[in-house]
């Protein structure tokens, strides 16, 4: 029911939720001396197909999408080790995009590169299986976790708290996986573990995070073609919600991800804006994400 605010979701076609492009980068394995690492291209083709089949072929919600309404995202797996014929390690990058109403512009919602070494087993003779109550593999559980995170953020951008049920599902995936022995699922493993993205979005103390996604996109970007000053005012309001979350807890993973993915867009939107708006945005970014403030060097901040 959430997406009905802007998209006409009907039952005529039965497309799945995601239109996800997958890339497997195995170039770093070419420097090794083991033949199966440098020559076995087929396994990487099968890995790509298995990931696409899981993400694009599974029904993740009880909603029906038309093909043109599928959620645009990409998954890149950068492999840097292969310890056995079926055991791999590398980095995982997830990107999520959203169309902006009444325009050809697409905005980034999520762009995250896991900083740790992502290890998993993959047997090309077996499909990737997943369900909420069982841990089949680190690869399938990690992909499912990020699918639910992406659904949460996507639907938050269309309706107030629209992503709530999907964050709850991401929490179920995390709780099932945390005893698997694989690194990345426990909160004790650092602020960039998968636990914290889930926690940030299910913790009621950070409710403004959900509000910010909705106001920024639905009342901000989606209104840019109708009333730019009002739309910019909504975007600043959304940034103030992000600022409120930051005051409750600094360096929150989800806040930093929000600012990282939006900073260039903010520069583009507010470069032609009045000085008072530029200063408001600059001051918020300086407080919330100081590393990004250099990108606003041309703003009038007096």
pLDDT at 3 over 50: no
What distance in Å separates the CA atoms of residue 58 and residue 53, rounded to the nearest whole number?
7
Higher pLDDT, 217 or 69: 217
Across the range 288-302, mean pLDDT stands at 91
pLDDT at 168: 97
pLDDT at 14: 55
Token code pair at residue 67:
């093909």
- Degrees (nearest 5) of the Cα angle 58, 61, 65? 85
Token code pair at residue 169:
């599902």
Across the range 160-169, mean pLDDT stands at 97
pLDDT at 283 over 80: yes
pLDDT at 107: 98
* 93-102, 131-140, 293-302: segment of lowest average pLDDT: 293-302
Q: Give pTM, 2 decimals.
A: 0.92
Position 33 confidence tier, pLDDT thresholds 50, 70, 90: low
Position 1 confidence tier, pLDDT thresholds 50, 70, 90: very low
Phi-psi region of 251 (alpha: psi -120 to 50; beta: other; left: phi over 0): left
pLDDT at 12: 36
What distance in Å separates the CA atoms of residue 75 and residue 59, rounded to the nearest whole number?
18
Across the range 272-299, mean pLDDT stands at 95
* 7-16, 178-187, 239-248: segment of lowest average pLDDT: 7-16
* 1-5, 124-128, 207-211, 251-255: segment of lowest average pLDDT: 1-5
Provide the percentage of residues in the chain whose pLDDT is more than 90: 79
pLDDT at 258 over 80: yes
Across the range 11-39, mean pLDDT stands at 75
pLDDT at 8: 35
159-190 in b/e form (b: 16+ CB < 10 A) is bebbbbebbebbbebbebbbeeebebbeeeee
Token code pair at residue 154:
């996507």
Position 155 confidence tier, pLDDT thresholds 50, 70, 90: very high
Provide the percentage of residues in the chain whose pLDDT is more than 70: 92
The rounded mean pLDDT for the chain is 91
pLDDT at 6: 38
Contact between 97 and 109 (Cβ < 8 Å): yes
pLDDT at 84 over 70: yes
pLDDT at 13: 45
* 5-9, 64-68, 84-88, 281-285: segment of lowest average pLDDT: 5-9
pLDDT at 64: 85
Give the residue from 61, 70, 59 showing the smallest Cα distance to 20. 70
pLDDT at 134 over 80: yes
For residue 18, what are the β-bridge partners?
Answer: 71
What distance in Å separates the CA atoms of residue 4 and residue 137, rounded to the nearest whole number?
34
Contact between 209 and 198 (Cβ < 8 Å): no
Across the range 135-147, mean pLDDT stands at 98
Show Cβ contacts of residue 43 under 8 Å, excluding neighbours closer than 6 positions: 36, 122, 124
């Amino acid at each position: 029911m959430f997406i009905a605010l802007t998209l006409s979701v009907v039952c005529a076609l039965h497309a799945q939720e995601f239109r996800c492009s997958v890339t497997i980068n195995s170039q770093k394995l070419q420097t090794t001396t083991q033949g199966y690492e440098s020559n076995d291209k087929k396994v990487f083709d099968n890995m790509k197909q298995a990931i696409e089949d899981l993400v694009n072929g599974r029904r993740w919600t009880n909603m029906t999408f038309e093909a043109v309404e599928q959620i645009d995202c990409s998954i890149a797996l950068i492999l840097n080790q292969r310890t056995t014929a079926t055991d791999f390690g590398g980095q995982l990058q997830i990107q999520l995009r959203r169309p902006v109403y009444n325009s050809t512009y697409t905005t980034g919602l999520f762009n995250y590169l896991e900083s740790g070494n992502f290890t998993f087993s993959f047997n090309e003779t077996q499909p990737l299986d997943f369900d909420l109550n069982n841990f089949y593999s680190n690869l399938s559980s990690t992909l499912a976790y990020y699918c639910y995170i992406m659904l949460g953020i996507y639907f938050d951008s269309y309706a107030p708290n629209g992503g709530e049920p999907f964050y709850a599902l991401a929490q179920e995936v995390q709780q099932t996986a945390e005893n698997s022995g694989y690194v990345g699922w426990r909160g004790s493993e650092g602020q960039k573990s998968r636990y914290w993205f889930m926690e940030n979005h299910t913790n009621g103390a950070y409710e403004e995070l959900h509000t910010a996604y909705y106001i920024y996109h639905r009342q901000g970007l989606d209104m840019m073609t109708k009333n730019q000053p009002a739309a910019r005012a909504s975007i600043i309001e959304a940034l103030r919600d992000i600022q409120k979350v930051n005051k409750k807890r600094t360096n929150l993973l989800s806040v930093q991800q929000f600012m990282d993915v939006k900073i260039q867009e903010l520069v583009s939107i507010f470069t032609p804006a009045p000085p008072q708006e530029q200063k408001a945005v600059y001051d918020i970014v300086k407080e919330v994400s100081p590393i990004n403030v250099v990108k606003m060097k041309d703003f009038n901040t007096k």
